[in-house]
A and B are shown apart, each in its own frame.
Chain A
Amino acid sequence: MQTLQQPRLEAGEQEFVDQVITDRKGRPGALLGILEAVQEHHPHKYLPMATLDYIAAKTGVPLSRVFSVATFYSLFNLKAQGDNTICICRGTACHTRGSRNLLQSARLSLGLGLEDISEEDKVLLTTEDGKFTVRTVACFGQCALAPVVEVNQKIRGHVNERTLQREIETIERESE
């Protein structure tokens, strides 16, 4: 029965996804690996719905399950990430050394609101202009450097509100 149209992606993208699927098919943890590689490859580090559709069709895994996996794990994003990512570690060591204030001050200085999001599954906020994403991670495992913030994939240790502010200002200056 061939009633549904086969989803398609842009040529270069589709080629990449096909290759990733071929490399991993049948191996343990294949779906995780595919989604990780495809997200990492996307310039905005996320999984568009069309891509999930395509992966489901190509791997034969029901879309419901692909979607379930993509929404279950905190690493996966279903929305485009900002050009710059500030990832604040919310591990215990960082928490005892004031990481919540860092999160608040990053949100404050980027105009990302301050409503309580403690009941949300994860913190992931992107500015309207798409320049910044502020997110958290359960723990970077850099506890001896607490509090830790990752700014565009670079780990910064012993951060305080002031140094974080400077990092943001530097990025803003450089992107102008």
Chain B
Amino acid sequence: MARIQDIAAFNAARETGLEKLMPTVPRITVGMGTCGRGNGAEGLYHAFAAAIDRSGMDVVLAGVGCFGSCYCEPIVSVRLPNHPLVMMKKVGANDAGRILQDLATGNVTPEFVFCRIEEWDHITGHLRYGNGYPEVPLWNEVPFFKGQQKLVLRNCGFINPDDIEEYFGIGGYQALYKVLIEGRPETVIEQIKASKLRGRGGAGYLTGNKWEFMAKAKSDQKYVICNADEGDPGAYMNRNEIESDPHSLLEGMIIGGYVTGATEGIVYIRAEYPLAVRRLQRAIEQAREYGMLGENIFGRGFNFNIEIVEGAGAFVCGEETALIASLEGHAGRPRPRPPFPAQKGLRGKPTNINNVETWYNVAPIVTRGAPWFTGIGSAKSSGTKVISLVGKVQNTGLVEMPLGTPLKTYIYDVGGGGVDGRQVKSVQTGGPSGGCIPQDMFDTPVDYESLAQLGSIMGSGGMVVMDEANCMVDVARYFIEFTHSESCGKCVPCRVGLNKSLRILNRMTEGAATPHHIELLDDLSRYIRECSLCGLGQSAPNPVLTTLRHFKNEFEDHILARRCEAGVCEELALSPCENSCPLHMDIPRYLQLYKEQRFDDAFMAVIMDNPLPSSTGRVCQHPCESRCRRKTLDEPVNMREVHRFIGDTMLLSDKFEEAAARVAARKLDPTGRKIAVVGAGPAGLSAAFYLSLLGHDVTVYDDKPEAGGMLAFALPEYRLPKAVLRREIELIERTGVKFVLNTRVGPDISLNELDDRYDSVFLSFGTWKEAAPPREPGTNLKGVYPALHFLESVARGETVQLGRRVVVIGGGNAAIDSARTAIRTGAEATVIYRRERKDMPAIAEETHSAKEEGAKFVFLATPHRIIGDDQGRVKSIEVVKTRLGEFDSSGRRKPISTGEIQRFDCDAVIFAIGESVDIELAQSAGLKLSHSGTIEVNRYSLASSRPKFYAGGDVVTGASNVSGAMSYGKLAARSIDRQMMEADRWKTAMPDFQFDMTAPDAASESRRNRGRELDAALRAKSEDEVVAMLSHEETLDECQRCLRCDLSVANAT
């Protein structure tokens, strides 16, 4: 190919390219970016080539770049002449033949179809593919692409990056042609200035101004440099841009070189991006061959060349003076500015450095003009920004949106929210120079100013989503570890300051820090920010300062409670299961003790960690399983069933007396202190048990005729037989705890009286009130019940006349318990929930069992009104269908009424829509309440606003669950004891066991043992317990499945 010097040759090249892009035969493309390749795109490409060969069809096959939706690689596009381009996702090599066959008959294989594109605006050109396939969604109807505007990524995924002619085909190099023919560099600079294009590398400096400085600088030699040293971990848009569309970069640089008077261009690119380097190298060769680079470009007397320099892995080289030092053969250390590179840059000559993405915006602005560009984005931040959306989000990939789009659009609408049903906690923008933004600030628009206000930055556009399983202290530590190792060492604040910061953060994650360290870290971070020489040091403290600002409670947890709720900081947990257990049971210990057939020790280990092992063994939400490492092999260890078995074999057998005596024998000497516990639910029982063991004189008050709280009066017999609970309570009684039942604190005995008579008072009277009485018309009809009243009546053995058809409103455990209890009275139950099944807070196994027993479920519906008959009895209920709208603060979509009404005939309606605290009692006691109507306490001591009074369980958290409530009782006991005795005596009361501390050589082959469930038809008619206990052999087998994470790295030494 001869060098193109005139318009005729230029147009001819364009025509050739267009024919390749829109051939008169079918064209198939495979996305061959690094992420495509990482998912098998190469094999897929060869499979298509082979299939085409075999079929003898005339098909054009091309490798293209990446379309941005990295989560569904490998991506394939197919197009028949005059038809839309159809994108296909997750195509495997085995599928190539079938797709080709279908294409031969004019069809697109439905199972791979992703979206269709009828026409595409390449900005520099416009391709009209054709109409058709109405059943396939248009590309911007797919949630991931909705709202995206592809300026920078205009060609990515469409053209073959190794073929300059395809680039000509979409109007490539026309902007360059125009600029050179017009020959007025100053107008181009004016245009860039007017466009308000800001540097896309991070700092956001106005590109036009930078160009103007450079143009004005007088020198025989000037350089333009593309900074492609994308060292920001978590951002990869530059890699993708170069891999997919290298010529747009070259065109931008050549235009920039021409208008600023440069003669040489350099692309400084990471050596870790071999594919991008290769494609860019090839693009440069082709551009030379076609006369876009080299001497006398387009016959206009302009000479320009571009060279590639591979960076060798130094984050600081993203700083422009460090980059220049690197090019000059030095270690990449920055120097103070001024002089700015535009005055004195590479080899002392004027130099202009722009980020990759900045260069990609040049040709579009030249083509469409500044007003078009400023029409996109927000007032101060025009245009778009490519964001790499990664981390704990469902749809990962590159997202290009107009600047000013709110964060939540990226995370929820485009990203599809958190993974594995976990809630998104925060998003980190701007990489190591940026910060963490908490979920409640996701309304913030993504532009330079707004992010800076939150202490973060836009940076190069990395957006790493984090969820509950990410620890923010660890995240801060991670970034400091990074900037610490990447600090060039030239200036003291950065070199020494970051080292000190890292040491403090290490202490925090190891649980060895003191509250003073928070302050120290904050001060230190500010000094580093103010005093460092270059951008690296000045911005390195941002991750720390933002996490300190927005997630201070996590730092406090690490320091004051030595807890890492996310379970990331290994030194603060025995094992992932222990860390996620609200009671922090030493699970590996009892599994190992049982495995060693030391049954008495196993029981003692269990009961001292959890005084209600049999009850919780049946009804706990088992968060332990969510983090069990065994899950990566097959299924989590059934830890709950094991402690149920250990509990049952002692508590429900003739060994009870002996076991109870051994527990009571552990009691410390009497202290003479008297403590009142108000409420005999799980929280109160736990507090009483431990306080009694610590030697105190404990009295528990409850207004019900029996102890147990919700366990006794809200949980149905078939889930938790009362006999089991009674035994556990009996054991607690044997330790010396006194129960005063049928006594309501308030009317029967006042809190002031308790204050007078006891040394400390623990309030744990739970949430027995309906959260908010339903407001729908008809709730006063006969046959409408609040769930707790209904369940309590049944538990008391009263007969509730439900009738034949029962509707339950709600999606939590109380709703499911109500439905299953109703079924046992012979009724048909329908559960109506306003969200979707996956959003239900109820334990999944319970929901599943309810369904097996015949419960029906109606999702996406909320009550409208209840209709009664002439005797004032429920006749039917009308519900409004809902649809899911925007994400709310819980990270779930908000149900919105559609106005569509549906009617269900029924005889009873049970509302299970939450419970709340009896505020009057708390208020009358002069206790400070939170705005959500719960008692306010210190998170670590559980002390309330009133001296001597502590509170825990549902009265503090609002309605939660058994183990959660018990954890408060346990914590309160320790805290009250420490406060009264002025020493931490906890460990002296707790048993210590020696057991085998060697990890199993190999994971046991056994699959998870589960308790057998009674047949659904049988159990629906019976009050009998539905899940049978494991056998001794099964329990032993289950214990052997444990991988002993307690012997992990952190605990090895």
**A76 adjacent to B391 (CB under 8 Å):** no
List residues of chain A with CB within 8 A of the CB of B391. 92-93, 96-97, 143, 146
List residues of chain A with CB within 8 A of the CB of B865. none
**A32 adjacent to B35 (CB under 8 Å):** no
B215 to chain A, nearest CB (A): 21
Interface centre among B315, B329, B397 (most CB of A within 10 A): B329
| B388 proximal to A (CB < 8 A) | yes
**A144 adjacent to B390 (CB under 8 Å):** yes
List residues of chain A with CB within 8 A of the CB of B37. 155
Q: Give residues of chain B (22-39) contacting chain A, Cβ–Cβ below 8 Å.
A: 34-35, 37-39
| B510 nearest in chain A by CB position | A116
**B38 adjacent to A155 (CB under 8 Å):** yes
Which of B271, B431, B633 contacts A162 (CB under 8 A)? B633
**A118 adjacent to B481 (CB under 8 Å):** yes
| A160 nearest in chain B by CB position | B632
**A28 adjacent to B313 (CB under 8 Å):** no
| A34 nearest in chain B by CB position | B329
Taken together as a complex, chains A and B put the C-alpha atoms of A148 and B270 apart, in Å, by 18
| A143 nearest in chain B by CB position | B390
| A74 proximal to B (CB < 8 A) | yes
**B327 adjacent to A29 (CB under 8 Å):** yes
Taken together as a complex, chains A and B put the C-alpha atoms of A29 and B328 apart, in Å, by 6
| A30 proximal to B (CB < 8 A) | yes
**Chain A proximity mask over B259-277: 1 for CB below 8 Å, otherwise 0:** 0000000101011110000
List residues of chain A with CB within 8 A of the CB of B327. 28-29, 32
List residues of chain A with CB within 8 A of the CB of B311. 32, 73
**B266 adjacent to A28 (CB under 8 Å):** yes
| B199 proximal to A (CB < 8 A) | no
**Chain A proximity mask over B454-469: 1 for CB below 8 Å, otherwise 0:** 0000000010111000
**Chain A proximity mask over B465-489: 1 for CB below 8 Å, otherwise 0:** 1100010000100110110111010
Which of B270, B326, B633 contacts A29 (CB under 8 A)? B326
Instruction: Given the known inter-chain contacts A96-B470, A142-B38, A143-B388, please indicate yes or no for A33 contacting B310, CB distance below 8 A.
Output: yes
**B464 adjacent to A93 (CB under 8 Å):** yes
**A72 adjacent to B314 (CB under 8 Å):** yes
Instruction: Given the known inter-chain contacts A120-B485, A141-B272, please indicate yes or no for A32 contacting B38, CB distance below 8 A.
Output: no
| B389 nearest in chain A by CB position | A144
| B1052 proximal to A (CB < 8 A) | yes
Query: How would you classify the secondary structure of chain B's contact residues: helix, strand, loop or mixed?
Result: mixed
Taken together as a complex, chains A and B put the C-alpha atoms of A126 and B347 apart, in Å, by 39
List residues of chain A with CB within 8 A of the CB of B310. 29, 32-33, 36
Taken together as a complex, chains A and B put the C-alpha atoms of A9 and B554 apart, in Å, by 57
Instruction: Given the known inter-chain contacts A93-B391, A97-B392, A119-B499, please indicate yes or no for A143 contacting B234, CB distance below 8 A.
Output: yes
List residues of chain B with CB within 8 A of the CB of A95. 233, 475, 478
Q: Give residues of chain A (131-176) contacting chain B, Cβ–Cβ below 8 Å.
A: 137-146, 148, 155-157, 160-162
Taken together as a complex, chains A and B put the C-alpha atoms of A104 and B1045 apart, in Å, by 13
| A120 nearest in chain B by CB position | B485
Instruction: Given the known inter-chain contacts A141-B273, A143-B390, A144-B70, please indicate yes or no for A73 contacting B332, CB distance below 8 A.
Output: yes
Taken together as a complex, chains A and B put the C-alpha atoms of A161 and B629 apart, in Å, by 10
- Which of A10-18, A61-69, A78-86 contacts its partner? A61-69
Taken together as a complex, chains A and B put the C-alpha atoms of A145 and B34 apart, in Å, by 10
**A65 adjacent to B329 (CB under 8 Å):** yes
Q: How many residues of A contact B (CB 8 A)?
A: 52
Interface size of B as a range? 35 or more
**B230 adjacent to A141 (CB under 8 Å):** yes
| A4 proximal to B (CB < 8 A) | no
**B632 adjacent to A145 (CB under 8 Å):** no
| A156 nearest in chain B by CB position | B38
Q: Give residues of chain B (416-435) contacting chain A, Cβ–Cβ below 8 Å.
A: 428, 431
Taken together as a complex, chains A and B put the C-alpha atoms of A103 and B478 apart, in Å, by 14
Instruction: Given the known inter-chain contacts A29-B268, A92-B391, please indicate yes or no for A144 contacting B309, CB distance below 8 A.
Output: no
| B395 nearest in chain A by CB position | A144
List residues of chain B with CB within 8 A of the CB of A92. 233-234, 390-391, 428, 431, 462, 464, 478-479
| B486 nearest in chain A by CB position | A138
List residues of chain A with CB within 8 A of the CB of B38. 142, 145, 148, 155-157
| A58 proximal to B (CB < 8 A) | no
| A1 proximal to B (CB < 8 A) | no
| A37 nearest in chain B by CB position | B310
**Chain A proximity mask over B18-60: 1 for CB below 8 Å, otherwise 0:** 0000000000000000110111000000000000000000000
**B314 adjacent to A74 (CB under 8 Å):** yes
| B485 nearest in chain A by CB position | A121
| A49 proximal to B (CB < 8 A) | no
| B35 nearest in chain A by CB position | A144
Instruction: Given the known inter-chain contacts A28-B309, A72-B331, please indicate yes or no for A139 contacting B466, CB distance below 8 A.
Output: no
Taken together as a complex, chains A and B put the C-alpha atoms of A160 and B470 apart, in Å, by 17
| A41 proximal to B (CB < 8 A) | no
| A108 proximal to B (CB < 8 A) | yes
**B486 adjacent to A118 (CB under 8 Å):** no
Interface centre among A96, A97, A114, A140 (most CB of B within 10 A): A96
| B231 proximal to A (CB < 8 A) | yes
List residues of chain A with CB within 8 A of the CB of B232. 139
A41 to chain B, nearest CB (A): 14
**Chain B proximity mask over A99-135: 1 for CB below 8 Å, otherwise 0:** 0000010001000001010111110000000000000
**B236 adjacent to A74 (CB under 8 Å):** no
**B431 adjacent to A141 (CB under 8 Å):** no
List residues of chain A with CB within 8 A of the CB of B2. none
| B396 proximal to A (CB < 8 A) | yes
B809 to chain A, nearest CB (A): 38
List residues of chain A with CB within 8 A of the CB of B233. 90-95, 138-139
**A138 adjacent to B315 (CB under 8 Å):** yes
| B117 proximal to A (CB < 8 A) | no
| B37 nearest in chain A by CB position | A155
Taken together as a complex, chains A and B put the C-alpha atoms of A144 and B482 apart, in Å, by 20
Add 15 more A-B contacts to A74-B314, A141-B239 (CB < 8 A).
A28-B266, A29-B310, A29-B326, A36-B271, A75-B272, A76-B312, A92-B390, A92-B391, A93-B396, A93-B464, A96-B465, A96-B466, A119-B502, A138-B233, A141-B270
Can you give 28 contacting A-B residue pairs, CB < 8 Å? A28-B347, A29-B309, A30-B329, A32-B312, A32-B327, A32-B329, A69-B329, A75-B271, A92-B478, A92-B479, A96-B392, A96-B464, A114-B1052, A118-B481, A118-B502, A139-B232, A139-B234, A141-B235, A141-B239, A142-B35, A143-B388, A143-B390, A143-B391, A143-B462, A144-B396, A145-B38, A155-B38, A157-B35
Which 5 pairs between the two chains have the least Cβ-Cβ distance? A29-B309, A144-B70, A141-B236, A92-B234, A73-B312
